[in-house]
Amino acid sequence: MDTVKSYERTAYCAQFGVDNIGQEVSVCGWVQGVRDLGSLLFIDLRDRTGILQLAFDGDTPKEVFEKASAVRAEHVVAAKGTIRERSSKNKDIPTGDIELEVKEFFHLSASDTPPFEIEDDTRVNEALRLKYRYLDLRRPSMQQAIALRHRITKIARDYFDENGFLEIETPMLTKSTPEGARDYLVPSRIHKGCFYALPQSPQQYKQLLMLAGFDRYMQVVRCFRDEDLRADRQPEFTQIDLEMSFVTEEDIMRINEGFLKRAFREVLGVEIHTPFLRMTYAEAMDRFGSDKPDMRFGYELKDITNEVKGCGFGVFSSAVSAGGSVRLINVKDGARFSRKEIDSLTEFVKTYGAKGLAWVKLADTVTSSFSKFMSESEMDSILEKAEAEKGDLILVVADADNSVVFASLGALRCECARRMGIIPEGEFKFLWVTQFPLFEYSKEEGRLVAMHHPFTAPMEEDLALLTDDPASCRARAYDIVLNGTELGGGSIRIFRSDVQEKMFEALGFTEERALAQFGHLIEAFRYGAPPHGGMAYGLDRLVMLMTGRENIRDVIAFPKVQNASELMMASPAPVEKSQLDELGLRLV
């Protein structure tokens, strides 16, 4: 192997073009491929920007030619020479009009045969890719995603700095306040029997920063939640976090729309229109069955509870009499679905708790799974409510639990749109969802819990409900949704001590428990708290959507898999008994 005592790269591979023809340059990277044609030799050199062809011919010094002939894929090399025009151009790569006529060549390190080819169309399974993540990250699409993530992060820091925000770091070792997702706990060696928690968010710290007078805070921050994984969720993730004092919801929405507008323009060259559409939580659930609706297509829910409450079809009438509802979606042109496909949709909604799926197919003849139990006028009223036409497919879910109806149809409209192929590519539809419920009922705990967190302010007109009817109380909370994915969320915070006390009471906290968990915040609020609010974006989700990926693992350098393990380093892993002894821990 060669040692380069003095070496300076002129530029990255894809930064050269026809304007550089005739220039002496130096490049380095990995060998993507070698084409040995006897008297001619070509090496595709790859770095993080792309590929540049290295050319060796009869004018190449003999020792250079021989050294280059010995390299193979993924060997690390460097070369010096002159940029020249290619005789055989390659329109598939940005540097396809040029090549480097090599004068000096350095073979820096060899490589074993990789377990998979370093190219974007590799079909190797994800587990193997993640085990050898450092190789997987060499693939151009992965390098582009990580580079784009960097650009978005830089834009965030620049934009919020220009708008008066200070980036302030908050602690990674904090106090466990189990009112939300499950904490990751860290045992203390010095304080035996005591534990730190890794932050689920910097929520309390950033509110304390508002009390400290830093009226515009932001941070690109790591957060941790010990929860089950999904395609858009990881146990450790990154937030673009911010908080502002002396603001309303309108101020926070406006500043964040400006950030997203700039990020999409500078990164993707896409102009997004502001202000974004806004919709209350109640309207989103009623029309789309979801608090994060995809607005790129229709298939809105229609409530037919009144139309079927006294009908002869027991599935409908019993759901209504039990306090539930009956709702439908109209899949335009969906009559082309076969009975087998409709059966598969029935199985699909069952995963969301639905007991079944009723349907009407308006093909050349009208067929239905339930029409024989209905009068002609009842069927007519259903079709009228659905705005049905020939060629449509009406899908109906009934349940005594309204949340099951919403969840089932909310997911079904997205599944049908996917199967119908009507979701437009490259379109970005933003939505603010506002006025969430302040509380939700936890069956596991048998009590009301905060839908967001205990510091979310109630709507001013709902203040009295905190005491009288907390379940009906609406929050000054808002989520930002993009194409059916929640990008982030936030709220105006409680800043009055009397309101915070009522909030704790509604959550079932005793005064002692409130002081034990949040005493530092309660104490701080005695010293002049400004009105404040904020939000946080999931950076991973934002990058995923901007790159058109379906899984956030594809935009994180070293992600975890479904069981929260990291395959490359094989973590989590057992530790030495001496380490446990030092911490005063014993495994049971």
The whole-number pLDDT of residue 425 equals 87
- Of 393, 420, 447, the residue at which a domain comes to its end is 420
Residue 576 maps to a domain: yes
Is pLDDT of 427 > 70?
yes
Residue 349 maps to a domain: yes
Is pLDDT of 553 > 80?
yes
**Which residue's entry shows tokens 């974004």?**
276
The whole-number pLDDT of residue 145 equals 95
Is pLDDT of 73 > 80?
yes
Query: Considering the chain, what is the average pLDDT of its residues?
Result: 93
* Structural element, H or E, at residue 102: strand 98-109
**Which residue's entry shows tokens 């009869």?**
58
The whole-number pLDDT of residue 426 equals 87
Question: Between 155 and 449, whose confidence is greater?
Answer: 155
Three-state secondary structure of 353-393: CCCCCEEEEECCCEEECCHHHCCHHHHHHHHHHHCCCCCCE
* Contact between 456 and 491 (Cβ < 8 Å): yes
Residue 507 maps to a domain: no
Number of Cβ atoms within 10 Å of the Cβ of 579: 12
Residue 518 maps to a domain: no
Residue 53 maps to a domain: yes
Rounded to whole angstroms, the Cα distance separating 97 from 87 reads 8
Indicate the pLDDT class of residue 167, thresholds 50, 70 and 90: very high
580 φψ region: left (φ > 0), alpha (ψ -120 to 50), beta (else): alpha
The radius of gyration computed from the CA coordinates of the chain, to the nearest angstrom, equals 30
pLDDT tens across 480-528, in order? Answer: 999 999 999 999 999 998 899 889 888 888 888 888 888 888 899 999 9
The whole-number pLDDT of residue 510 equals 86
> Structural domain tally of the chain?
3
The whole-number pLDDT of residue 55 equals 96
378-384 long-range Cβ contacts below 8 angstroms, 24+ apart? 378/307, 378/308, 378/311, 381/304, 381/307, 382/304, 382/307, 382/308, 382/328
Selection from 17, 39, 41, 16 nearest residue 31 by Cα: 41
pLDDT tens across 16-45, in order? Answer: 999 999 999 999 999 999 999 989 999 999
The whole-number pLDDT of residue 113 equals 95
pLDDT tens across 353-405, in order? Answer: 999 999 999 998 999 999 999 999 999 999 999 999 999 999 999 999 999 99
Is pLDDT of 536 > 80?
yes
- Of 373, 403, 420, the residue at which a domain comes to its end is 420
The pair of three-digit structure tokens given for residue 3, joined into one six-digit string:
């040692």
The CATH number assigned to the domain holding 370 equals: 3.30.1360.30
pLDDT tens across 231-264, in order? Answer: 668 999 999 999 999 999 999 999 999 999 999 9
Rounded to whole angstroms, the Cα distance separating 15 from 38 reads 30
Is pLDDT of 310 > 90?
no
The whole-number pLDDT of residue 178 equals 64
79: containing domain: 13-109
Q: What is the mean pLDDT of residues 341-345?
A: 96
Three-state secondary structure of 388-449: CCCCCEEEEEEECCHHHHHHHHHHHHHHHHHHHCCCCCCCCCEEEEECCECEEEECCCCEEE
Does residue 138 sit in the same domain as residue 242? Answer: yes
Lowest mean pLDDT among 225-229, 337-341, 543-547, 580-584: 225-229
Is pLDDT of 207 > 90?
yes
Question: Coil, strand or helix: which one is 545?
Answer: helix
DSSP 520: H
User: 196 pairs with which residues across the strands?
Assistant: 186
The whole-number pLDDT of residue 27 equals 96
Does residue 96 sit in the same domain as residue 169? Answer: no
Does residue 135 sit in the same domain as residue 252? Answer: yes
Is pLDDT of 171 > 90?
yes
Rounded to whole angstroms, the Cα distance separating 224 from 198 reads 6
Does residue 140 sit in the same domain as residue 258? Answer: yes
Indicate the pLDDT class of residue 7, thresholds 50, 70 and 90: low
pLDDT tens across 412-425, in order? Answer: 999 999 999 999 98
Indicate the pLDDT class of residue 4, thresholds 50, 70 and 90: low
State the Cα torsion 447-453-454-459 to the nearest 10°.
-100
Rounded to whole angstroms, the Cα distance separating 157 from 539 reads 13
Q: What is the mean pLDDT of residues 104-116?
A: 95
User: 236 pairs with which residues across the strands?
Assistant: 224
Does residue 96 sit in the same domain as residue 30? Answer: yes
DSSP per position, 113-164: PPSS-SSTT----HHHHHHTHHHHTTSHHHHHHHHHHHHHHHHHHHHHHHTT
The whole-number pLDDT of residue 143 equals 95
Question: Coil, strand or helix: which one is 58?
Answer: coil
The whole-number pLDDT of residue 80 equals 95
Three-state secondary structure of 439-473: EEEECCCCEEEECCCCCECECHHHCCHHHHCHHHC
Does residue 231 sit in the same domain as residue 152? Answer: yes
Question: Coil, strand or helix: which one is 171?
Answer: coil
Does residue 53 sit in the same domain as residue 153? Answer: no
* Contact between 504 and 548 (Cβ < 8 Å): no
Helices and strands, number each (H, E), in the chain: 17, 22
The whole-number pLDDT of residue 369 equals 93
Question: Between 496 and 178, whose confidence is greater?
Answer: 496
The whole-number pLDDT of residue 420 equals 95
Is pLDDT of 472 > 70?
yes
Does residue 105 sit in the same domain as residue 197? Answer: no
The whole-number pLDDT of residue 411 equals 97
Its pTM stands at 0.91
40-46 long-range Cβ contacts below 8 angstroms, 24+ apart? 41/65, 41/68, 41/69, 42/99, 43/68, 43/71, 43/77, 45/13, 45/77, 45/79, 45/100, 46/13, 46/118, 46/138, 46/140
The CATH number assigned to the domain holding 105 equals: 2.40.50.140
- Of 368, 391, 420, the residue at which a domain comes to its end is 420
* Contact between 368 and 346 (Cβ < 8 Å): no
Q: What is the mean pLDDT of residues 181-195?
A: 92
Does residue 194 sit in the same domain as residue 327? Answer: no
DSSP 527: G
* Contact between 227 and 207 (Cβ < 8 Å): no
Q: What percent of the chain has pLDDT over 90?
A: 81
